[in-house]
């Protein structure tokens, strides 16, 4: 039986490195067991929560965005009768599909289930050796700068005229709606920030349009 990724799983692959996304999407086509993407990119706050709860042992996680703007890890879990399963043998079936997909695509991957200590069955990442990065601190800075620049560009276009601003105003609003629909309230601080930016930009667009007509 062929499986496909759900809308929610696809939304959680946003900003994950394209090579890892390719492996996940190939794996879902050949896996013996259906699976879902539990998590892709994390922010610093989320990673601190994971470390505090004991679910992670490091603040240098590959889930955090690197300087290139991508996260380099995902967490996958099997789905049985519509629910996530924590049955360990099922994670080996996902591993079989992921490793086969990686081999076909010639992309190096690393499974947390193969680690000698702190085995992490859901965790998959691109290896540091083949995919080096400057780390999560640089990644967090990159994320903040990117969102600030996007907001500034949108506001500048609004000030310049409705015609130029309309496409910019629509894009973040559509993305925000997609995130809400896919995650159904399971939103990160970054999602809320993008939604706030979208509301501000659309509001400014309508205001400028009203001023031009008045």
DSSP per-residue codes, 142-189: HHHHHHHHHHHHHHHHHHH-HHHHHHHHHHHHHHHHHHHHHHTT---H
pLDDT tens column, 48-71: 988 888 888 788 789 989 988 999
Question: Check: CATH 3.30.1380.10 for 7-125?
Answer: yes
Reported as a pLDDT band with limits 50, 70 and 90, residue 115 is very high
Show Cβ contacts of residue 151 under 8 Å, excluding neighbours closer than 6 positions. 197, 200, 201
- Residue 39 belongs to what H/E stretch? strand 35-39
pLDDT tens column, 129-176: 999 987 654 444 434 334 444 344 434 433 444 333 333 333 344 334
Three-state SS letters, 88-107: HHHHHHHHHHHHHHHHHHCC
Domain map (residue ranges) of the chain:
7-125, 136-213
Dist. CA 47–CA 198, nearest whole Å: 26
pLDDT of residue 60: 78
Report pTM.
0.62
Determine how many CB atoms are found less than 10 A away from the CB of residue 44. 17
Provide, for the chain, the percentages of residues in helix, strand and coil under a 3-state DSSP scheme, each rounded to the nearest 5.
55, 10, 30
Residue 139: both structure tokens together? 């990644």
Could you give the count of Cα atoms lying within 13 Å of 100 in the half-sphere of its Cβ?
14
């Amino acid at each position: 039986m062929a499986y496909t990724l759900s809308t929610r799983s696809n939304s959680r692959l946003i900003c994950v490195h394209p090579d890892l996304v390719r492996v996940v999407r190939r794996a879902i086509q050949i896996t013996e067991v259906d699976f879902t993407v539990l998590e892709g990119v994390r922010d610093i706050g989320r990673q601190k929560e994971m470390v505090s709860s004991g679910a992670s042992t490091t603040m240098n996680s590959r889930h955090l965005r690197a300087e290139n703007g991508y996260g380099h890890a995902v967490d996958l879990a099997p789905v049985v009768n519509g629910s996530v399963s924590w049955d360990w043998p099922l994670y080996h079936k996902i591993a079989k599909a992921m490793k086969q997909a990686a081999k076909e695509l010639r992309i190096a991957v690393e499974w947390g289930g193969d680690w000698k200590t702190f085995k992490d069955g859901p965790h998959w990442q691109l290896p540091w050796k083949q995919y080096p990065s400057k780390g999560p601190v640089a990644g967090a800075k990159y994320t903040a700068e990117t969102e600030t620049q996007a907001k500034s560009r949108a506001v500048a276009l609004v000030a310049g005229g409705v015609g130029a601003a309309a496409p910019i105003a629509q894009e973040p609003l559509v993305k925000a709606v997609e995130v809400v629909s896919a995650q159904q309230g399971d939103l990160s601080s970054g999602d809320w920030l993008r939604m706030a930016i979208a509301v501000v930009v659309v509001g400014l667009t309508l205001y400028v349009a009203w001023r031009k007509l008045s």
